[in-house]
Amino acid sequence: MTIGGGARWQNRSWQNIYNRAKDQYQDFSQDAYWLVDAMARYQVSEHLSTTLNVNNLFDKQYYTNIGFYNTAYYGDRAM
C-alpha cells in the first residue's frame, strides 16, 4: 500500500468586472485558500495495481478564474 498527498495554495485574487445587470463596474475578490489532495495505491499483483486519487479532499469551494470576459469559474469539487 502506498499513500501520498499534496497541498496547493492560492493567494488572494481580485478583479474589477463589469456587472451588466447593474450597468456598473464592481470589485470581485476571493481570499487566499489551500486545497488538499490525497492518493492511495494498492499493488494487487506484480503486473496490476489500483489507485484512488481525491483532489480537493475537504470539498473547498473556490474560483479558478476571476474576470476572464467578466466571468468567474468554480474549481473542481471533491464530490
Given a cut of 70, is residue 24 above it in pLDDT?
yes
The neighbouring-strand residues paired with 6 are 37
Average of pLDDT values for 7-23?
A: 90
Q: How many CB atoms lie within 10 A of CB 10?
A: 15
pLDDT for 74 equals 79
Given a cut of 90, is residue 11 above it in pLDDT?
yes
pLDDT for 78 equals 67
Q: Which secondary structure element, helix H or strand E, spans residue 13, and what is its range?
A: strand 13-19
Find out whether 37 and 55 touch, Cβ atoms under 8 Å: yes
How far, in whole angstroms, is CA 64 from its chain's centroid? Answer: 6
pLDDT for 31 equals 94
**Does the predicted TM-score (pTM) go above 0.85?**
no
